[in-house]
Amino acid sequence: MRFSKQLQTVTVLTAGAMLGYLAASGAPRTAARAETARSASGIVVEPTANVSATPAPCCDAKLDRTLALADQLADANTAVAAHNLAVAATAQASGKKPNILIIWGDDIGYWNVSMNNQGMMGYKTPNIDRIAKEGAMFTDWYGQQSCTAGRACFITGQVGFRTGLLKVGLPGAKEGLQARDVTIAQLLKGQGYMTAQFGKNHLGDLDEHLPTAHGFDEFMGSLYHLNAEEEFENPDYFKDPAMIKKFQTRGVIHTWAMPDGTQKIESTGPLGKKRMETIDEEITKSTLDYLDKAAKSDKPFFLWWNSTRMHIHTHLKKESEGKTGLGIYPDGMVEHDGMVGQLLDKLKALGLEENTIVMYSTDNGAEEFSWPDGGTTPFRGEKATNWEGGYRVPCAIRWPGVIKPGTVSNEVFAHEDMLPTLLAAAGAPDVKEQLLKGMKVGDKTFKVHLDGYNITDALAGKTASPRKEFFYFNDDGSLVGLRVNQWKIVFAEQRAEGFAVWQEPFVQLRLPKLFNLRSDPFEKADQIGADYERWRIDRVFLLVPAQQYVGQFLGTFKEFPPSQKVGSFSLDQVLETLQKGGGSK
């Protein structure tokens, strides 16, 4: 299968490098144990010629422990399905399904909210911090490496390679949210919810990609990264009306899903620099009005608010400029936090606070190259890289009756986990299993493989997180890393810095790098550790369960192949698209 070639190549390269390195470093394995590792992973790798048939006692015992660890991890994953039927107890016991308010920023760095930086950056975000104080904050929560990927993973519960939504969406591109990929909104509508999204979407700009074609009753906002919206004001922008019609952004649109399955679509005008000063105020007003309407309804609601702050380029109104005395990004963050406060205050005023799950997060890690109009992170790298700085995002969740106020969690979670978790809260704890078999939602049947986990009990502090692994995909669709528990294995790395991370290719490693994200969360060991290579050699056995994880993951694509090919900025693929007549609105 064409789509699995990249993953299979990574798997084989990883296994080949592992076996060759074991032999070269004097760590022989018996043929029987090599076969055990191969059968466990489902990937056949020819043993290297130098592998001895005589076991080395020290290393043989080490491999025993490694394989036992792999078995334990597999058992833990199997146990999740059996546990799921009990997780909706709170909602079922009360007989009232919770409302859901998702509050997202854009390109906001892990260190740019004061719940994480503790005021170090000279300004505070008290309303975002309030969600954490009244609920939980997370140190190891994963978004994705760019805008589209992070949003797609959240709304579909699937990794970006599976949906094909890894590349930043451009105006008129054919890539977008596909009809076969079910969303949180569609599933919650099946549970009796009213649904709405306000703000940035970035999951495709064709009519079939719009939120109101994928389960949302109403949408108002933009379909692109913010700086794309102001391109029409550039003096060198297209002058030919035909080119403008084909490639200009659609501006801010307001859409509704109609009872007959069609959409009502209205344009509210372009999103130029002046309107950018107050577009988040428009978004917030629509959201507050919707909450007023929802409070009068007998239905629970799912509402996703997506700010344009703090994506480049930031354009602030006069009243917001200079608020902190620290520059444009801090001023923008204070403005952004104030709007988060408006949403929280509205919930309280309407008496909805105690029965509403509130999540605050963002799509991807910080974009540092655009500083001072850019985010900040203590982690290595930034948006569009393979490093933690590209994937770790600020996250806080308030869930009255489930999450103990003031919780700080170091467990591993990801945006994909929210779909099965929110569906469990709504009374459908077995949604993951149902979708594997084929689940009817309204007049459609969806059969997809969810990559997220139901994390309800982990959020409640009853169990550890069911998520032990995280797969790092770059925006070209390559698997560049894998985390299992505290261990991170890097298959390919972005060595460029600044804006060049968007320009330069990733470097494929013949032997993966290894990091312990507990003792070295900022991934500095290979740069400054004098004994890093010895440390890595002594732990090369960890590549065995890594191979198993990649093999198991690859196996899921046999029955559930990607929805579409990942988009590309390469000339070859652009030409291929044009020849096929795609890429136009």
Higher pLDDT, 40 or 177: 177
Quote the pLDDT of residue 575. 54
Gap between the Cα atoms of 523 and 388, Å rounded: 8
Task: Report whether pLDDT(139) > 50.
Answer: yes
Q: Determine the pLDDT at residue 569.
A: 60
pTM of the model as a whole: 0.85
Other beta carbons within 10 angstroms of residue 283's beta carbon come to 23
Task: Tell me what pLDDT residue 56 has.
Answer: 35
Per-residue pLDDT at 267 exceeds 50 = yes
Q: Averaged over 411-438, what is the pLDDT?
A: 98
- Which pLDDT value is given to residue 441? 96
Q: What are phi and psi of 127, to 5 degrees?
A: -75, -40
**Mean pLDDT of all residues belonging to the chain:** 86
Q: How far apart are CA 130 and CA 134, in angstroms?
A: 6
Among the listed residues 213, 393, 418, the one whose alpha carbon sits nearest the alpha carbon of residue 302: 418
Say yes or no to pLDDT of 149 above 70: yes
Q: What would the mean pLDDT of 443-455 be, rounded to a whole number?
A: 98
> Could you give the CA distance from residue 238 to residue 227 in angstroms, rounded to a whole number?
16
Please state the three-class secondary structure of 290-303 as a single string.
HHHHHHCCCCCEEE
Lowest mean pLDDT among 99-108, 415-424, 565-574: 565-574
Confirm if 509 and 488 have CB atoms less than 8 A apart.
no
pLDDT at 192 over 70: yes
pLDDT digits (tens, 9 = 90+) for 460-504: 999 999 999 999 999 999 999 999 999 999 999 999 999 999 999
Q: 3-state DSSP call for residue 310?
A: coil
- What pLDDT score does 169 carry? 75
CA atoms within 13 A of residue 250's CA, in its CB half-sphere: 26
Q: State the pLDDT at residue 576.
A: 60
137 three-state secondary structure? strand
Q: If residue 440 lies in a helix (H) or strand (E), which one and from where to where? A: strand 439-441
SS3 call for 480:
strand
Under 8 Å between Cβ of 163 and 175: no
Which residues lie below 8 Å from residue 313, measured CB to CB, with a gap of 6+?
226, 227, 230, 273, 276, 373
Amino acid at 458: A
Q: What is the DSSP string of 156-223?
A: HSS-HHHHT--SPP-TT-S----TTS--HHHHHHTTT-EEEEEE---S-SSGGGSGGGTT-SEEEE-S
Q: How confident is the model at residue 54 (pLDDT cuts 50, 70, 90)?
A: very low
The CA distance from 92 to 108, in Å, is 36
Domains detected in the chain: 2-82+471-573 (no CATH), 100-468 (3.40.720.10)
Q: What is the per-residue pLDDT for 549?
A: 87
Q: Which residues contact 332 (CB under 8 A, 6 or more apart)?
A: 309, 310, 314, 316, 320
Cis peptide before 121 (omega within 30 of 0): no
User: Does residue 60 carry a pLDDT above 80?
Assistant: no
Burial of 387 (0-12, 13-18, 19+ CB in 10 A): buried
More confident residue, 10 or 45: 10
Give the pLDDT band of residue 2 (cuts 50, 70, 90): very low
Confidence bin at 171 (pLDDT 50/70/90): confident
Residues 6+ apart with CB under 8 A from 552: 41, 42, 74
Lowest-pLDDT choice from 195-199, 402-406, 539-543, 570-574: 570-574
Question: What count of Cα atoms within 13 Å lies in the side-chain half-sphere of residue 406?
Answer: 0
3-class SS of residue 55 = coil
Mean pLDDT of 64-73: 47
Split at pLDDT 50, 70, 90, the class of 314 is very high
In this predicted structure, the answer to whether residue 23 has a pLDDT above a threshold of 50 is no
Please give the structure tokens belonging to residue 482: 């894998």
Percent of the chain residues topping a pLDDT of 90 = 77
Contact indicator for 573, 482 with CB cutoff of 8 Å: no
Instruction: Give the full edge-to-edge strand order of the sheet including 356-361.
Output: 263-267, 253-257, 218-221, 194-199, 301-306, 99-104, 356-361, 396-398, 136-142, 407-414
Between the alpha carbon of residue 582 and those of residues 52, 175, 246, 388, 575, the distances in Å are: 54, 9, 12, 35, 10
